[in-house]
Chains A and B, each alone.
Chain A
Amino acid sequence: MQAKALLPLAVAAFMVAGAGHAQDSDAVAAGEKVFGKCKSCHQIGAGATDRVGPHLNGLFGRPAGAHEGYRYSKSMERAGVDGLVWTAETLDAYIENPKSLVSKTRMNFRGLKSGADRANLLAYLRSFSDNPANIPEAEPTAKGIDHDLDPAILALEGDPEYGEYLSSECTACHQADGSADGIPSVTGWPIDDFVVAMHAYKDKLRPHPVMQMMAARLGDEEIAALAAYFKDLE
């Protein structure tokens, strides 16, 4: 904000927002470099328009899938309706592993594993959001926190027979034949995607209240068992 106030008015008018807090300027500069990985699909800053991906001005505080005029995946729209809002924490998880938050996102990006890179990138993105002063500061832990699942969890072999029993709780809503209307299909998912998504509900990164509740009491082995069972349905 202070930075913006010092700029001549005419220049400021072309900027979507100021360059962020002075103390973050190193991070912003480092983040600009990291943004190189995003550039082929996303534009940001003055004159940015939607390309393969939506432009990223004003991203913080916006519900997922809500930027008008851009055609999002169904999955992204649903995440927004379920209550996913882009904050430092949710963006951090999304950039680390997009599918953890939005299973069928069209963003074809494997994810940024380095917590420091993500923190810098977020500082850069944040500097293009309106009113950065009003954006809640990230929880201290969100900076560079590792949302990535413990590889030991991903490596767990699920027991499909146990998964079949547990699945009977899921099929009260999700249809076993994979049909989906109103409630998404859970059959035929790659095991890793399934496990990552369920843990994102368990950690309350994904917003849906029923799913958060159901996932909350599933242990690592139970999630693995469900993943193993549902993978081979249909």
Chain B
Amino acid sequence: MTMNRRLFMGTSAAALTTLAAPALLADGHGKPRVIVIGGGSGGATAARYIAKDNKGAVDVTLIEPSRTYYTCYFSNLYLGGFKEMDDLGHTYGTLASKYGVNVVHDWAIDVDRDAKTVSLAGGASLPYDKLILSPGIDFVDGAVEGWSVAAQNAMPHAYKAGSQTELLKAQIMAMPEGGTFAMVAPPNPYRCPPGPYERVSMVAHMLKANNPTAKIIVADPKPKFSKMALFQEGWADHYSGMIDWIGPDFGGGNVSVDPAAMTINIDGEETSVDVCNVIPAMKAGRIADMAGVTDGNWAPVNAADMSSKADEDVYVLGDASQQGDMPKSGFSANSQAKVCANAVRGALTGSKVFPAKFSNTCWSLIGTDDGVKVGATYEATDEKIAKVDGFISATGEDSATRKATYEESEGWYAGITADMFS
């Protein structure tokens, strides 16, 4: 069955054929059951598309501890004063009322792939035919010397949006005049490649208005980063003299912090700082590990349908997956979820399965009305999700173009969140 499907999906000419004998998968228990763990960008999209397109033929359960999902996208704009926290919150009511998704606000604490069950912190054990994991990221223990999740109040990561983001903003607003904001940037691969640098831009924007003699230090283990030329041009234009980016050549990769003393040590040199945003190295959300579908830090998947390389009935979406060339972004997670939903639906109900197509575009805001973007399209190969074609905003673009790009990002935000939650 799986072999046939894979073969079949590899040939786009056969795209319109219907699968045979799918009812097998629901053996004996009526409607086929899908469990989605994680109601973020990937999980909410997958649950919505499977439920929407099946019109009740499949039971979809979404497990997500939070009642409100705060998007990381645009959370930097909140730091910069361009958005309110409320603009970033999305709830699950529509998924339940309009599409019949069974939304369970709880943590998944274990997966038994032999018994095909998921255990919840609240004690329940739920059976599945197909399991979709989209748990996002957790941090690698000991990635930044001196930092642990226990220290995230003193030195927030703000790389999962919500209270962490609010905390970081409060700390920025409370900085003394002429104070220092430090960021420890993460090594590759990590969620949202331009994210740390958009954040630096937004913090600089905030400080320029409220605390113009303040300084920003960025310690970075990477010699190059996403949209680097665009950010550096923008920093020189808008925030000249404020931002000190320290790459690995100058010791940016050799960092430790002391959250109690509020100091950062870069290549042997200790500096007292007022705010320290530590963004550690990342790995797949812990439940992926517990489900036994990770290899190292991430969960390898088949590009054609996002199924785990370890288990054909488990799919991994978004940041947690190791899929190939796509960046870890909300746009990517949403794109992967739609390919996965189509494949899961086909496997469970025999609906048409169309060939996989993926795309991504990431917008970043550098200053007021100064938006830039980078994007690409991808296809599934046997080996991985492979990049087909891409583009990036040019340096030196005129202000009308940059403004239009920013406005477009607002349109994208409205569009993609509707595609997940409404």
Chain A residues packing against B (C-beta within 8 Å): 78, 81-83, 159, 161-162, 165-166, 168-169, 171-177, 179-183, 209-210, 212-214, 216-217
Contacts and interface: CB of A to CB of B under 8 A. Distances in A.
B49 A171 contact: no
Contact of B414 (A161, A182, A210): A182
Contacts of A159: 16
B389 interface: yes
B128 interface: no
Contact of A166 (B357, B376, B400): B357
Given A169-B338, A169-B357, A213-B377, A177 B408 contact: no
B419 A176 contact: yes
Contact of B401 (A83, A161, A174, A214): A83
A177 B49 contact: no
A159 B354 CA distance: 12
B264 to A, nearest CB: 38
A214 B16 CA distance: 21
B318 to A, nearest CB: 14
10 closest Cβ contacts across the A-B interface?
A182-B411, A183-B411, A168-B338, A209-B391, A81-B404, A182-B407, A182-B410, A173-B415, A165-B354, A173-B412
A214 B379 CA distance: 12
Nearest to B373: A210
B352 A182 contact: no
Contacts of B408: 182-183
Nearest to A78: B404
B303 to A, nearest CB: 16
A82 B15 CA distance: 35
Nearest to A63: B400
Interface residues on B, range: 35 or more
29 contacts: A78-B404, A81-B400, A82-B404, A159-B16, A162-B16, A168-B419, A169-B338, A169-B357, A171-B419, A172-B335, A172-B359, A172-B415, A172-B416, A174-B415, A175-B414, A175-B415, A176-B419, A179-B414, A181-B407, A181-B410, A181-B411, A182-B409, A182-B410, A210-B375, A210-B391, A213-B390, A214-B359, A217-B377, A217-B379
Interface string B382-422: 00000011110000000011001001111110111011000
B219 to A, nearest CB: 33
B354 A216 contact: no
Given A82-B404, A176-B418, 13 more contacts: A165-B342, A165-B352, A166-B354, A171-B418, A172-B359, A173-B411, A181-B407, A182-B407, A182-B408, A183-B408, A209-B391, A213-B376, A216-B389
Contacts of B379: 217
B312 to A, nearest CB: 22
Interface string B317-334: 000000000000001001
A77 B16 CA distance: 40
A182 B16 contact: no
In this complex, the member of A162, A171, A210 whose beta carbon has the largest number of chain B beta carbons within 10 angstroms is A210
A171 B52 CA distance: 14
A58 to B, nearest CB: 19
B418 A175 contact: yes
A165 B49 CA distance: 10
A182 B363 CA distance: 13
A182 B357 CA distance: 25
Contact of B359 (A169, A176, A179, A212): A169
A212 B375 CA distance: 11
B152 interface: no
B54 interface: no
Nearest to A83: B401
B66 interface: no
B361 interface: yes
Nearest to A179: B414
Contacts of B373: 210
B334 A172 contact: yes
A180 B414 CA distance: 9
Contacts of B391: 209-210, 212-213
A183 B419 CA distance: 14
A159 B15 CA distance: 12
Contacts of A180: 411
A93 B410 CA distance: 31
A209 B392 CA distance: 8
Contacts of B409: 182
B347 to A, nearest CB: 15
Contacts of B376: 213
